[in-house]
Amino acid sequence: MAYGSGPDINRTSSDRSPRRAGAWPAAKLILLWTALLWVLEFFDQATGNSLDTFGIVPRKQSELIDIVPAAFMHFGFGHLIANTVPLLVLGFLAALRGTGRFLAVALTIIVVSGLGVWLIAPDGSNTAGASGLIFGLFGYLLVRGFVDRRITDVALGGVVAVFYGSILWGVLPTESGISWQGHLFGLIGGVLAAFMTSSSRTAGGGRPDWH
């Protein structure tokens, strides 16, 4: 998603390899995030699916408070298992640029995806799960390199596209019981998050050179 002359005793390990230095915090964050999803689902199953009420029911004002919690709930272990591996992989890659930035990105995606579901999902539906976040992280990783003008992240986005590009079919209304609305707006949220959290934007300077 890193690169002298003689040795410089003033350089820290993070100066030499920011990507490597950020690997453990990124891994720890996404492992804890995923573990929380599993804990919640075990509790949900043990209490007769009591947490399913935190899903998003569209166009009810009282349901707006469930936009964030819904991203942590699942309708059974099969639903959660399907989301676990892509969340671990894409979440780790996204968090390598900093855990604080990742949290801002994730919150943006969750809110945009949830609002999209609330606005246009079918009447009477109940939507929950991490797939909106997964689609958002996919979109974020695809464009982050171009926004930050980092060649390594552009290459990483290409690799992500090769391995996960087929999920884009999920933004189309092709399968009943699947929230294409959450997927589509999650993807949009990920692209927005790349611009909103751009390193050039947060630095407050001019347009950076490619590096």
The answer to whether position 10 is within a domain reads: no
* pLDDT score for 22: 86
Please calculate the CA angle 179-184-185 and round it to the nearest 5 degrees.
100
The answer to whether position 175 is within a domain reads: yes
The answer to whether position 191 is within a domain reads: yes
What rounded mean pLDDT belongs to the chain? Answer: 89
For 5-61, the pLDDT digits (tens) are 344 434 444 444 445 548 999 999 999 999 999 999 999 999 999 999 999 999 999
Task: Tell me the DSSP string of 162-211.
Answer: HHHGGGGGGGSS-STTS-HHHHHHHHHHHHHHHHHT-HHHHHTSSPPPP-
For 138-149, the pLDDT digits (tens) are 999 999 999 999
The answer to whether position 6 is within a domain reads: no
The answer to whether position 188 is within a domain reads: yes
CATH number at residue 104: 1.20.1540.10
Burial class (CB in 10 A: 0-12, 13-18, 19+), 30: buried
In which domain, by residue range, is 159 found? 18-203
Count up the domains in the chain and report the number.
1
The answer to whether position 8 is within a domain reads: no
Q: Indicate the pLDDT class of residue 211, thresholds 50, 70 and 90.
A: confident
* pLDDT score for 156: 97
Phi, psi of 75 (to 5 degrees): -95, 70
The answer to whether position 12 is within a domain reads: no
CB-CB neighbours of 15 under 10 Å = 10
Contact status, residue 87 vs residue 126, Cβ threshold 8 Å? no
How many residues would you count in the chain?
Answer: 211
The answer to whether position 211 is within a domain reads: no
